[in-house]
Each structure stands twice: as structure tokens, then as C-alpha cells.
A and B are shown apart, each in its own frame.
Chain A
Amino acid sequence: GQQLNQSPQSMFIQEGEDVSMNCTSSSIFNTWLWYKQDPGEGPVLLIALYKAGELTSNGRLTAQFGITRKDSFLNISASIPSDVGIYFCAGQLVGGSNYKLTFGKGTLLTVNP
């Protein structure tokens, strides 16, 4: 099935550093989503992107929908310990619907205080 290539797989950073992660696909998506999953919990939506080129912020988080519609990135500025978790990108294919998302394999973020 369709897969999203998410990188990096894991990151170990110091508190205060900025973080960047991205997702790429061979297919075109009409929606890109970024979720965060805390241990023992379900994914929680961070940012949703609906237009190519769109740049959206949510506090210290910024995400962009790539111009080619085949990629997206998420930046976290000035990381804090509570940023620890797994970050997933998810996409909705053209002609698809929001009940049928394709997920990346996740980026595990560890923040050292």
C-alpha cells in the first residue's frame, strides 16, 4: 500500500534546540496532518494543512505543505522536555477522505533537560 517516508526515525536533542522532521511521498496528497503521540495514549492532532505551499503555526510548532504536494515538514522551536513523544505525519490522498489516512512510521523525539 501507499507509504509515507518519514525522517528521521529518532532524534536526541538538548532542551532549547530546534527540531525539524519531514515526510515525503511518491503520490500527491490534498491534506497533510501532523500528530503527536505520548506514551500510552492515542495520537493528538497538532497541525492540519490543506493547500500546497501553506505554512501554519501552532505555538512553537510550524508546518508546511510542500509545493509539489508530495512532502511536508514540521519544525519545533526551542524544545522543552514535554515535547518528548512520537510525531507522525499523515496524508489524505487526492480523491480520498479523512477516514482513510496514510501514516508515516513516526519520529521518536527525546529531549534532554
Chain B
Amino acid sequence: NAGVTQTPKFQVLKTGQSMTLQCAQDMNHEYMSWYRQDPGMGLRLIHYSVGAGITDQGEVPNGYNVSRSTTEDFPLRLLSAAPSQTSVYFCASSNPGTSVTDTQYFGPGTRLTVL
């Protein structure tokens, strides 16, 4: 049971380039979310999904696209990278419910730099 995995761990892009951050979970969780973490800002929600085929915007969705074709995978796409997207990106998954086992589990993060 690997939990939540993210690839790559580090990435450097040039302004205007596109890329996809990968996220996978093997816990059969219904919910998956993407957050970005900036210094002094905590974690902010980018996009989330409540199940395969269903996605919605979070607090800071501009510049990012997501899709959820399977329960396990939730990739985050940057169509045209900008320096403002330099950040650490975390993927998280959870199940609906109100117990400790239903809370969000986080991946190790992808550290992205846009030059």
C-alpha cells in the first residue's frame, strides 16, 4: 500500500511550457484534491474531484486543468507555465465521512520552478 504518490519530485520549466503533474492513490479513495503551498501562505486548494469523471474548482484554479478518468489517478496540467506558478504542489485523497480514517492523506509533493 503506497498511499498517495506524486511524480516528478522536482521540475524546472521555462515560461510558456506545459507539463502534467501526476498523482495516484491505491487506497480506493473517492475524493482527490490538488493544493499548492507557497511560503507563508499555507496550502490553498486548486482543484478537487469527488469521483471519476467529476471535477471542480477550488480557491486558486486559474492556469490549471484537471481530469479524473479513473479512481486512482488525478493529474494536474499546466497549459502555459508562468513564474507565479512556482510552488510546491501536493495531491491528497480521502473518503467521504467524519472519522479519522476519512481525513485527507497527502503525497510527498512536487517542487516546481518556472523560469
Q: Do A105 and B40 touch (CB < 8 A)?
A: yes
Which residues of B from 23 to 48 have beta carbons under 8 Å from A?
31-33, 35, 40-45, 48
Q: Which residue of B lies closest to A50 (CB)?
A: B98
Number of interface residues of B (CB under 8 A): 32
- Say if the beta carbon of A95 comes within 8 Å of chain B: no
Does residue A60 face the partner (Cβ distance < 8 Å to B)?
Answer: no
Instruction: Tell me which residues from 59 to 113 in chain A have a Cβ below 8 Å from any Cβ of chain B.
Output: 88, 90, 97-101, 103-106
Q: What B residues does A90 contact at CB under 8 A?
A: 43
CB < 8 Å neighbour of B50 from A31, A99, A105: A99
Say yes or no for B97: interface residue by CB 8 A criterion: yes
Contacts of A42 in B (CB 8 A): 4, 90, 92, 106-109
B41 proximity list for chain A (CB < 8 A): 105
A101 close to B45 (CB less than 8 A): yes
B residues less than 8 Å from A104 (CB atoms): 42
Q: Is the CB of B109 within 8 A of A41?
A: yes
Q: Which residue of B lies closest to A105 (CB)?
A: B42
B-contact 0/1 string along A1-37, CB 8 Å cutoff? 1001010010000000000000000000011010100
Complex interface: chain B residues within 8 A of A1 (CB) = 44, 59
Binding site for B on A (CB under 8 A): 1, 4, 6, 9, 30-31, 33, 35, 40-45, 48, 50, 88, 90, 97-101, 103-106
Kindly count the residue-residue contacts between A and B in the assembled complex, taking CB atoms under 8 Å apart.
72
Query: Closest residue to A6 on the B side, CB-wise?
Result: B42
Contact of A43 with B43 in the complex, beta carbons under 8 Å? yes
**Provided the pairs A42-B90, A42-B109 are in contact, do residues A99 and B98 lie with their beta carbons within 8 angstroms?**
no
Contacts of A31 in B (CB 8 A): 98
8 pairs, A vs B, C-beta closer than 8 Å:
A33-B103, A40-B109, A48-B103, A50-B99, A98-B98, A99-B33, A103-B42, A106-B42
A40 to B106, CA, bound (A): 12
Q: A50-B99, A98-B96 are in contact. List 17 more A-B contacts (CB 8 A).
A: A40-B109, A42-B4, A44-B106, A45-B100, A48-B99, A88-B42, A90-B43, A97-B96, A98-B103, A98-B104, A99-B32, A100-B48, A100-B58, A103-B35, A103-B42, A104-B42, A105-B41
